[in-house]
Amino acid sequence: MGEFELIRHFFYPVADATDQPGLILGPGDDCAVQRVPKNTDLVFSIDTLVEGVHFPENYEPTHLGWRCLAVAASDLAAAGADPVCFTLALTLPEPNEHWLEEFSTGLKQAATRFGLALAGGDTTRGPLSVTVQVHGTVPEGQEIRRAGAKPGDLICVSGTLGEAGAALAHLQTGQPDADQLQVLQRYHHPEPRLALGVALRSRVSAAVDVSDGLLADLQHILTASCVRGVVDATRLPISKNLRALRSDAVSLALNAGDDYELCVTISPDEYDALPDTVSAQLTVIGSVHTGEGVSVSGQDDAGATTGSGYDHFRS
Ligand code: ADP
Ligand code: MG
């Protein structure tokens, strides 16, 4: 199968799977065309996943197809953007049709789930890597930024933390048990909080998605906002499953990445005014103060809180 036949066969069906009125022209031309309605801003973000760095070698292609779109879409969630479309730059060592079938299946599932239409891409030969650029929109000026947290705000996080980090230890396990399967699912199938991000737009003062670890990502908000944060380790949302599986569950919840939950800051008044359906998705884990940096209260093992996350260029 040649390059263009391959693109038509495996990726046009992905493009056709999501109905998005904002995408005027999809793959097949020199450019894709997105119509941006009046009084809205275009919001976009790009993420690259490299084999051996962001996912293990011989990683299941269906999972990779889902993950590559999920991690990119998570940035739209953090900005409070309505998802519209994405482009895909795929670099493959060889045109393995079985691999492409599975990859495009996972990608299609994610695209329809997140309401993101494939707009186009680029397909090249080389070491395996996947780059996805996602596009969304917000009503003019309403994107949620990292800068904006104020002293007195609450710090909240969605869902539960630490499970995806726990999965790393089990990626090579042949026959995972039920507890291990649940954390593996969190790693393979992250669910970006797109609807929650939109619901929090114009209510929260700042937001970030938890890709590198809670403390590391919260630190981005605090630095951008020139404030200090205190996290109460006893209030962290940790699943029963993770507590059963790992004695270091609190440390994982604070420091491990790949959860793709949202961490937001919000004034107490705005928090009280949240619809129940929205506040039910959040746990208050701390507070914002004047100063700088982040500290953790309520845990004995201070050494577990590095807050450093993952840095590709730190030696
Ligand atoms: P050009 O040479 O003009 O950059 P390409 O040959 O790279 O065009 O791509 C031809 C068409 O196929 C373009 O419309 C491009 O968006 C689309 N395309 C290429 N790779 C992919 C892919 N992986 N998924 C979806 N569309 C793709
Ligand atoms: Mg090209």
At 178 the pLDDT is 85
One-letter identity of residue 140: E
pLDDT at residue 302 greater than cutoff 50: no
* Ligand 1 pocket, residue 90 CB under 6 Å: yes
Query: How far, in Å, from the CA of 136 to the mean position of ligand 2?
Result: 22
pLDDT digits (tens, 9 = 90+) for 292-301: 999 999 986 5
Cβ 66 vs Cβ 99: under 8 Å: no
Residue 171's pLDDT band, with cuts at 50, 70 and 90, is confident
More confident residue, 308 or 160: 160
* Ligand 1 pocket, residue 31 CB under 6 Å: no
| Dihedral (Cα; 65, 67, 72, 75), 10-degree rounding | 160
At 292 the pLDDT is 96
Query: How far, in Å, from the CA of 89 to the mean position of ligand 2?
Result: 9
At 313 the pLDDT is 64
Q: Running DSSP on this structure, what letter comes out for residue 315?
A: -
Query: How far, in Å, from the CA of 24 to the mean position of ligand 2?
Result: 19
At 179 the pLDDT is 83
Distance CA 186, CA 167 (A): 8
pLDDT digits (tens, 9 = 90+) for 21-77: 999 999 999 999 999 999 999 999 999 999 999 999 999 999 999 999 999 999 999
At 303 the pLDDT is 44
Mean pLDDT, the chain, rounded, equals 94
Residues 6+ apart with CB under 8 A from 292: 222, 223, 226, 227, 228
* Ligand 1 pocket, residue 138 CB under 6 Å: no
- The angle subtended at Cα 280 by Cα 241 and Cα 206, nearest 5°, is 100
pLDDT digits (tens, 9 = 90+) for 249-285: 999 999 999 999 999 999 999 999 999 999 999 999 9
Query: How far, in Å, from the CA of 39 to the mean position of ligand 1?
Result: 30
Looking at all shown ligands, the one closest to residue 15's CA atom is: 1
The torsion angles phi and psi of 269, rounded to 5 degrees, stand at -65, -45
Using a pLDDT cut of 90, give the percent of the chain over it.
89
- Residue with CA nearest ligand 1 atom 6: 122
Q: Which atom of ligand 1 is nearest to the CA of 12?
A: 25
pLDDT digits (tens, 9 = 90+) for 140-165: 999 999 999 999 999 999 999 999 99
Hey, CA dihedral for 276, 279, 281, 284, is it positive or negative?
A: negative
At 314 the pLDDT is 61
pLDDT digits (tens, 9 = 90+) for 110-136: 999 999 999 999 999 999 999 999 999
Hey, CA dihedral for 67, 73, 79, 82, is it positive or negative?
A: negative
Looking at all shown ligands, the one closest to residue 30's CA atom is: 1
Hey, CA dihedral for 292, 298, 301, 306, is it positive or negative?
A: negative
At 175 the pLDDT is 82
The three-state secondary structure class of 93 is coil
Task: Count the Cβ atoms, other than its own, within 10 Å of residue 41.
Answer: 15
Query: How far, in Å, from the CA of 33 to the mean position of ligand 2?
Result: 15
pLDDT at residue 172 greater than cutoff 80: no
Cβ 157 vs Cβ 261: under 8 Å: yes
Q: Which atom of ligand 1 is nearest to the CA of 27?
A: 14
Give the C-alpha distances (Å, rounded to integers) separating 270 from 80, 84, 275.
Answer: 16, 28, 10
pLDDT at residue 169 greater than cutoff 90: no
Among candidate residues 304, 238, 146, the one with its CA nearest the CA of residue 296: 304
Residue ranges of E strands in 59-115: 82-92
* Ligand 1 pocket, residue 30 CB under 6 Å: yes
Query: How far, in Å, from the CA of 249 to the mean position of ligand 2?
Result: 45
* Ligand 1 pocket, residue 122 CB under 6 Å: yes
